[in-house]
Structures are given as C-alpha cells and as structure tokens.
Amino acid sequence: MSSNWSQIGHKNERGTVGLSNYKNRIRLRWSYQSKRYSLNLEAYNKVNVLLAKKVALQIENDMLNDTFDYSLNRYKNNGKEVNRIINKTVIEYFEEWTTNYRQMDCEKHTNYNSIRNMLKKWGNIDQRNILSKLNSETFCAGTYNRRLSMLSSFAKWLVKKSIWSNNPFEDVSHKKFKKKVQSTRKPFTPEEIKKVLDAFKNDTYCPKCSVFKHSHYYPFMYFLFKTGVRNAEAIGLRVGSIDLQKNQIHIKEVLARTLKNTSSLHRIRKETKNGKERVLPLTSDLLEVLLPVIQNKNTDDLVFQSPTGLAIDDNNFRSRIFQEILKSLGIEKRVLYACRHTFGSRCIDGGITPVMTAFLMGNNPETALRNYVHQVNIPNELPNI
C-alpha cells in the first residue's frame, strides 16, 4: 500500500493488499493462492483510510503466516470495529468543531449539547446515513431547521478537513412553518402593567409570614417593563454600567443561565446575545427607582440582587412570585419575557420607528417588526379612502 492516503490505483505487489476509492467507499483488493478477493468498507476519506489500513495490514500478515481467513469474517468484523471507532470520532470531531471553531462549549450551550446528545443516540453515523437519521426525528419545524443549519455547518467543516467527501445537508431545504404567537409572551396592557407594579410595590399578595417581601423586587420589575432588556441582561447589570453623569445605562453583558441550573452558582458572565452593546437613557423615573438600589454598592456589584445578596434566579422568581401575583390579579399567565414584548410593542405603538425600537432592544429592525408589532392599542377607525 502507498503511504499517501490519496494515491490509489497502483498495481499491487505480490502478497499485498490494495486500497482504492470505489464510488466514494474504501475497497480492499488482493490475491491469495491464485484467487482474487475484495472487501468494501466505509466512506473514502483520510480518517477512514488510516483505519482501513489496519485491516489491510492484518490480511497481509495472515497471508504471510498462513493464517488467512478464507471466509473474510475476521476482516469484516475488524471493519465493523473500524466503523465503531469512526462513529466515536464523529462525535469527537463535533466537540472539536464546537470548541475550537464555534467558540462554544457542549457542556454549557443548549443547542450544541442537544446535537451532541442526538449524535450519541444515533450511534452508527456516516455521511451516507446522517441525513436520513435527522429526517427520522419528530422535531417541530423550528427545531429541525435549527439543527439542520448547525449540522450543515459542521459537515462543511468536515469536508474542508477532508474527513468527509461531501456535505449531505448542502441542498436540503428548511421546513416551512407559520410561527405561532406564544400566549405567555403576550404584551401587557397599560392597566395590567400598573396593577402588577402596584402589587409588587405594596406587597399586596405577599404572605404576612414571609421574611422576603415582594417589594424587594419592585425595582427589578420596573426596570424590565421600562427598558425591555432581556432577563439575563437585567440580572447581570452591574452598578458600573449606570452612568449618573451622562444619565445613561450601558447594556453590554449578561449573567446567563447554564445547562445545570438558573441559580447564581451556575450562571456565567458573557457578552449580550448578539454581541452588541447599546445605551439606554436613564430617565428621571428610572433614576428615582434605581438610586436607592445602587447606593453604597461597588461598581462591580449587581444592581438587582436577591434578598440574600445573590443574583436573581429568574426561573424561581417567575414560578414562585411573578406568576402567583398574576394569578391573584386575574391576569393571563405570562413569562417574564413578556415584559420585553410589552416594551417593543409599546414603542412601535407609540410611534417610535422600528429602527430605533430595534436599537433600544438590541435587535435588528426585521426582528422588531416580526416579534413586537402586537399593537397593544387597536385603532377604532381605519384610514379614509
């Protein structure tokens, strides 16, 4: 065999096994005792060829030592072992691609963790069957499209590294679907906003025996409604990001949840979702709410903290306090993210352009139009013609 994996088609020397590319698959061919033999293995690429050479070497040794297996079962079984190693390598390559090229971590980032678990579940993976395995999953259209895009990028990298000969996802179309409006993200009306904030401020529904009062979270809730920032942006906001001289609030980082938990112990600090830094005006009403919260704190301290001085666990806060208050007020169930949708919708409904709304929210204009044009106040009339 040639030492260069890409050189094929050479005439075999006596007692040696030839390795060639036959329809993008590895084929081993040799002669023994005047009879020709052939064995087909996996896809033809650099990694598979190196592993197939081990099978070829065993065949050559067996012919030399008169221990040749005429049934070829021994070599076929070794080929299966090669396949097992290859499948394990695909997952390892995915982890390498995720870490070194996508700058992500399979242990921390949900999408990459989910795809790695999916690849492990599939087991026998190669470029010929991976698309059919994806299509056999019963994902919703959104999940399917997201995983298709990520797998296509991964496969493109495998091709570039000569690990795969082609990208099986290259010409696959995304599934079309109509995005459903999530009722739990429905914007609050002005009346509902006032009721919610008053309930927090006045401890209206806080149990009398509770050590931690709902009013502790009033500044946090006011900030979410007023600025429309993402939950993790508010939770991770530091005192140093509030410029009292210029009356500005700098949104430049988040304290994000991880796969392990939403508690302060497991959160990690990183840049905003799209990597953009934006500046919000520190209005007089916001200043009035925030000043008592940031007094006597260091610049690196969190603006909003739990009653015990830790980062707010938004999942715990939502289920134990926020939704209980909504229920007591007779308001339809919402998630905290509905505060962001409320802000975006009120901006556009109040005449602020989609471009400026997108800037304030850290989105692009298309996203602002697509997600936040809920029109809280429907007009009573239509334009004259």
At residue 126, the pLDDT reads 86
Predicted confidence band of residue 213 (pLDDT cuts 50, 70, 90): very high
Q: Where are the domains of the chain?
A: 18-85, 91-160, 183-372
Model pLDDT for residues 180-210, shown as the tens digit of each residue = 667 788 899 999 999 999 999 999 999 988 8
Model pLDDT for residues 342-379, shown as the tens digit of each residue = 998 888 888 888 888 888 888 877 776 666 665 555 66
At residue 368, the pLDDT reads 67
Give me the amino acid identity at 107.
E
Backbone angles phi and psi of 170, in degrees to 5: -55, -45
Out of 7-16, 195-204, 333-342, least confident range = 7-16
The top-scoring range by mean pLDDT among 113-127, 158-172, 181-195, 225-239 is 225-239
The answer to whether residue 382 scores a pLDDT higher than 80 is no
Shortest CA distance to 90 belongs to which of 39, 30, 133?
Answer: 133
The more confident residue out of 38 and 379 is 38
3-state SS of 58-101? HHHHHHHCCCCCCCCHHHHHHHHHHHHHHHHHHHHHHHHHHHHH
Predicted confidence band of residue 82 (pLDDT cuts 50, 70, 90): low
Chain-wide mean pLDDT for the chain? Answer: 86
> Mean per-residue pLDDT for 79-87?
55
> Mean per-residue pLDDT for 284-313?
95
Enclosing H/E stretch for 143: helix 141-160
At residue 30, the pLDDT reads 92
Q: Which CATH superfamily is domain 183-372 in?
A: Intergrase catalytic core (1.10.443.10)
| Gap between the terminal Cα atoms of the chain | 82
At residue 6, the pLDDT reads 45
50: how many CB neighbours lie within 10 A of its CB? Answer: 11
- Give the span between the Cα atoms of 221 and 214, in whole angstroms: 10
Verdict on whether the full-model pTM lies above 0.95? no
The answer to whether residue 122 scores a pLDDT higher than 60 is yes
Helices (H), 228-376: 231-235, 284-294, 314-317, 323-329, 338-349, 354-361, 365-372
Give me the amino acid identity at 100.
N
DSSP assignment of 233-257 equals HHHT-BGGGEETTTTEEEE-EEEE-
Under DSSP, the state recorded for 264 is G
The answer to whether residue 2 scores a pLDDT higher than 60 is no
> Mean per-residue pLDDT for 41-57?
84
At residue 317, the pLDDT reads 94
